[in-house]
Structure 1
Amino acid sequence: MRILVVSDSHGNDGNLRRAILAQPKAEVVIHLGDGEEELLRAKRSFPEKMFLAVRGNCDWGSALPPVGEYTAAGVKIFYTHGHLYGVKSGQYTIVCAARERKARVLLYGHTHNAFTDYEEGLYMMNPGSLNGWQATYGTLDITPQGIVTNIVKLP
């Protein structure tokens, strides 16, 4: 199963659409915040996709939850924007939150810096930002052979 992971689109409908079109095998799109309005428009344009989302620090007045959990192919994913966990100052708090939830995958945004890592049973990914000239997104593949996280630069 492939999951498209995006964050911080900040009103850039075009880049969100391009990322979705670039990953036709992705059944699920997880938006990690700061882009609720364009997310809602994308949901209407791609009704065949499942969309999951959390609110970011720039999604003022949003009714989206601050955190989410999703289980795909038996793998528990914890996702959030990251600002509530101080990710610009470090990962300790957010990693502890993921481990408390017994997640195998941690997804977060907010920093606009793409990042992927694996540490003691926890896969971590920040897809970066879909806004700007160096826009990036992430893919998360969950297969019987294992889990793969990948950062993709939007062409």
Structure 2
Amino acid sequence: MKLVVMSDSHSDINTIQAIRTRETDADAWFHCGDSELAVDADILQGIEVVQGNCDWSATFPESVVAEVCEQKVLMVHGHQHGVKESLMQLKYAAEQVNASIVLFGHSHLYGAELQDKVLYVNPGSTLLPRGGRVATYAVIEYSDSPRVTFRNPDSGEAVEKVIFTTS
């Protein structure tokens, strides 16, 4: 299984297009909010998208639950789940829907954690990274255990790889 995840692109359609052109073999596409685009924007067709705190004129859903290759994915933006402080609210939300993968944005900081067999991934921001980091999106590959690669949206080169082992 291969998931492509982006967030916080803030009206930058060129970067979304570059990622879509590069990652053609994805099983599913996700945008964790703050696209600042219209719900019917052509560039977002075929991508699951949630409402971010900067998506003022759009009416995306606040959360998405999707089944991809036998994995249940929960996606939110994160501003309503306190993600800048803790993953605890996301943990409760994941338990409610029995999610094995949780995707979120909002902080503009990329990262991945595996807690109690649930994978939490923030792809960072494709346009406005924080904390001295570079712009990123995430590619999640899952066979026996998850592997998350954070990639530069312009070049596609790996910024960081995180490989988890599950027992």
Q: Which one-letter code corresponds to 1:116 in the other structure?
A: A
Amino acid at match of 1:76: K
**Consecutive aligned runs of 4 or more in structure 1 exceeding 4 Å deviation:** none
What letter matches 1:68 in structure 2? V
Once residues 18 and 38 of structure 1 are traced to their aligned partners in structure 2, the CA distance between those partners, rounded to angstroms, is 19
Pairing 1:29–2:25 present: no
Q: CA deviation at 1:62?
A: 1.9
Which residue pairs with 1:85 in the alignment? 81
The corresponding residue for 1:152 is 151
Is residue 81–residue 109 contact of structure 1 (8 Å, CA) maintained in 2?
yes
| Counterpart amino acid of residue 29 in structure 1 | W
1:52 CA displacement = 0.7
Give the Å deviation of 1:149. 2.3
Q: Does 1:104 align with 2:100?
A: yes
Quote the Cα distance in structure 1 between the aligned partners of 2:115 and 2:14.
34
Deviations 1:33-67 (A, max 9, x none): 000417723146xxxxx311101000013221100
Structure 1: any 5+ residue segments left out of the alignment? 45-49
Question: Is structure 2 residue 55 aligned with structure 1 residue 59?
Answer: yes
Bigger RCO of structures 1 and 2 (CA < 8 A, at least 6 apart):
1
Moved more, 74-83 or 31-40: 31-40
Q: Distance in 2 between matches of 1:71 and 1:83?
A: 23
**Which stretch shifts more, 34-43 or 61-70?**
34-43
Q: CA deviation at 1:17?
A: 1.3
Range that drifts further, 18-27 or 117-126: 18-27
Secondary structure, counterpart of 2:14 in structure 1: helix
Alpha-carbon contact 2:77-2:106 (below 8 Å) kept: yes
Structure 2 distance, partners of 1:27, 1:96, is 26
Maintained 8 Å contact 1:116/1:150: no
Percent sequence identity over aligned pairs = 26
Kept in 2: contact 1:54–1:80 (CA 8 A): yes
Aligned to 1:11: 11
Distance 1:128 1:14, change over 3 A: same
